[in-house]
Every structure is written in C-alpha cells, then in structure tokens.
Amino acid sequence: MISKDSLIYIAGHRGMVGSAIWRQLSARGYTNLLGMTSKELDLRSQSEVLDFFEKNKPSAVIDAAAKVGGILANNSYPYQFLMENMQIQNNLIDASLKMNIGKFIFLGSSCIYPKLAPQPLKEEYLLTDSLEPTNEWYAVAKITGIKAVESIRKQFGKDYVSLMPTNLYGTHDNFDLNTSHVLPAMIRKFHEAKENNNTPVILWGSGTPMREFLFVDDMASSVVFALENKLPEHLYNVGTGQDLMIKDLAELIQKVTGHTGEIVWDSEKPDGTPRKLMDVSKMHELGWKHTIELEDGIAKTYQWFLQNINNFKEVKMR
C-alpha cells in the first residue's frame, strides 16, 4: 500500500499536469515526492531510466511526461509525436515492471478513441474504428501505452492503470500560439486583441465542433484517487461528462478576458474531430467526480496567465 512517506516518482513533474499532481500530493501530506528535469534524466533513453529506477526504487510511478501539442504541431512533427512518446512511456513502464514497482499510473488522452465513435466515448470503444488523422501519431503512441499497462495487469497481476483525460487546461498551461491547445490559445488571442484596442480575433475552423474541458487540478485529484485506491479495471476516462461548442467556448473566454471586438471564424482551417465527449460513469461509480466548473476554471487560468504574462512575450500573435 502507498503511504504518505512512500517514494513517489512523478515523470513530467514540471508540466501542467505533473505540477498539479505534485501540488495536490504535497497538500495531502505526501512527503517523499521525486521529480527530475529532462536535463537530469532523458526519459527517451532506456539505460538512463533503468539506472535511475535501480538507484531510487520508487514505490509508485506516475507517468505525466509526454510530447504534446495541438493540430498544427501534430501535423508538422508526426515522427516525433509517435516515437518520442513511445520511448518515454515504454522506458517508464518496462523499468517499473523490471524493478517490481507495485503501482503505475499512465496518463493518456481522449484522442485514443476513433474519430467517429458513438458519443459519449466509452472505454470499450478503443480500437473499434479509425483515428482522427490530425493527431493519430500521438494517439497510436498512447494506445500502445494503454496496451502495455493492460498486458502487465493480465500477465503479472500488477496494480497498473491508465487514466484518459478529456481536454485539459489550467495554470501552467502552454500559451505558445504555435504549439498550444485551443483553450489556452484562445485566452492569449483574446487578451492580446483586447490590449490592441479590441481588434478582431481570428479562430480556426467553423466553431461547431463540440469539446469537453477539465481543469488540471481535477485531473490531479483523479490521479490521487487512483494512487490511493486499487481500481478494478485497467482503463478509465477522466472528464466532466459535459461539453460545449467551440463557438460557445470562444464567447465564454471573450467574456472572462473582457474582449469586446469581433470573432472571425476561418473555415478554411480544419475542425478536427466533430465531438469528443467522455463517458465518465466508471470513475463516478468508484467515487471520483470533478469539482471545478468551466467558467471558474477559465477565470483561474486567465489570472495565472496575467501573473506570468512576461514569460509569453517571446512569441508574437500571428
């Protein structure tokens, strides 16, 4: 069993998700957390990861490390999104198994599900149809991680589990317009347009796709839940179970940021998957549920953006 003084290694502890997990575990009294920067430990290197595990022998491993990005980044760097994600997760999973680590939590993404799967997305829809082409490289990598976790449970009976979050956002998000996801990109665009005399904001696509968003602190609470409980299955969706149109999201962010100009939709740009709503009933049945609603989460994220705005100046709005 995991105790408050168990050594818990959080891979990707400086990222948006990893840092939220770290904060939440610290707040709950966990005193023996371990994190390494990419300069200290290259997770793509099998030998480095195995050496690190042999030296430190963590009781639990949380894999919040990944190469991530939006449609543009996935389309531009397919090989890196496929190979680097597989290298990172394979090294962590395999080293955990070799070192007989009792608890492993693998974090993925809702993009693992088929593009046109029935809504809401249930865990059993995995591998039932073709993926969304714009991010299939990342999705395939994450699916291999899920299958590695499932096979270890099946073959070795270990308490390894995969959590698949919906679209995450929050403090410590990526606001670089070349690589960020839709919600942080919108926050930045609306803020900069407001500062520039409320100029029009141009957004990709038609605005009609439906999306679900989960505040990163709620994601962290699901990881703590999985750490403190033995979950009966290998794969769980994590989300709110509620979605909205991208147009409605844009208007909500416009309201929070105080932008009063026009919103222009560039329908020449791709929309991505039409809808990605998660069925989160399995996690609800076990006793976990989100607590932060979308407008409150956007407001918290915007406040953090404003406090850290000098860090985002290097990439100008296009």
Write the pLDDT tens digit of every residue in 124-148: 999 999 998 888 999 999 999 999 9
Tokens (6 digits) for 194: 């407001």
Q: Which backbone phi and psi does 91 adopt, to 5 degrees?
A: -65, -40
Annotated binding site for substrate: 189, 204, 211, 271
Total-model pTM: 0.92
Averages of pLDDT over each 10 residues, the chain, 318 residues: 95 96 98 96 97 97 87 83 96 98 96 92 97 90 98 98 96 86 94 97 94 97 98 98 97 98 93 86 98 98 95 52
Amino acid at 225: F
pLDDT at 270: 82
Which CATH number does 8-309 carry? 3.40.50.720
CB–CB of 256/229 below 8 Å?
no
Active site residues: 138
Annotated binding site for NADP(+): 12-18, 107-110, 142, 165-168, 181
In sequence order, the 6+-apart residues with CB closer than 8 A to the CB of 207 are 245, 246, 247, 250, 265
Spell out the domain ranges in the chain. Answer: 8-309
pLDDT at 310: 85
pLDDT at 119: 92
